[in-house]
Amino acid sequence: MMDLNLSPAADTDLIKDGTEATFMADVVDASQTVPVIVDFWAPWCGPCKTLGPMLEDAVRAAKGAVKMVKINADEAQQIVGQMQIQSLPTVFAFFKGQPVDGFQGALPQSEIKAFVDRVIKAGGGEAPGESLNEAVTVADEMLAEGAAQDALDTFSAILGEDPTHAGAYGGMVRAYIALDQLDAAEGHLNGAPIEISKTPELEAAHAQLQLARQAANAGPVAELQAAVDANPDDHQARFDLALALQANGDTQGAVDQLLTLFGKDREWNEGAAKTQLFTIFDALKANDPIALNGRRKLSSMIFA
């Protein structure tokens, strides 16, 4: 097991309330050594109440690589004028006493994390998102090499650090699938945080779980191939053959059979061939040649 160094660190002094009187010390002086994010807010600002806590969470997760100062704009009109702030919330990041990044309005959590990562990199530090992404890559390699339990443990550790890391969350589902723990995979997938439930990583994991469920009930390839050879218009046999091929690792063969079935009768069984094709494509990486070529062929058949 790799050492992810994911132990929590104290966040004392990472986040503080600032004023015009303390701005020089809290922001300009403090940013000489570490980037400081300044959140301009006001009690009447609805979006501020959502943005502020998410920004604080991202700063805490950085474990000292960045600090945060919250300033009530209503009580800091001089600074608001100097910074030409016209709407709230407005966020600026300072390093070496100068603004280096910023944004206005509320952002989703993923974009807030990306902003904090940019600020940390601007200050010469290592963004926590980068180290976690590297850990996900290592866990993916473990999974590809057959060390599914080690991969599962690593993904779990990453999620302990960032419960909304889509790559780690999807990876944990895939690890459960590799361990043939399909119910655990489904339970984990169903419990995904809402903010990542529609990400490509989780959509792919869901498709892979569907294929794994189908594989458990797939028939013998040889018998189904013989049935299709005997009657090329036996659509059910061809569809079942595609499932069997997929279950045996022949994804290209499964796609070919489904494309043939779609060409013969695209409406058969409520469009089952197209639905199954999209499930396979979603389970593959976006740049996988089988997915790219398969989508291209399907599109040309749909619009022919």
Annotated catalytic residues are: 45, 48
C-alpha distance from residue 100 to each of 191, 209, 226 (Å): 38, 44, 67
Residue 106: count other Cβ atoms within 10 Å of its Cβ. Answer: 17
* Terminal CA-CA length for the chain: 52
Q: Find, among 5, 33, 234, 237, the residue nearest to 125 by Cα.
A: 33
Residue 232: asked if its preceding bond is cis (omega within 30°), the reply is: no
In which residue are the tokens 């599109």 written?
299
CA separation for the pair 73, 184 (Å, rounded): 48
CA separation for the pair 227, 118 (Å, rounded): 58
Q: Find, among 196, 60, 33, 164, the residue nearest to 116 by Cα.
A: 60
| DSSP bridge partners of 41 | 72
Residues 6 or more apart whose Cβ sits within 8 Å of residue 203? 282
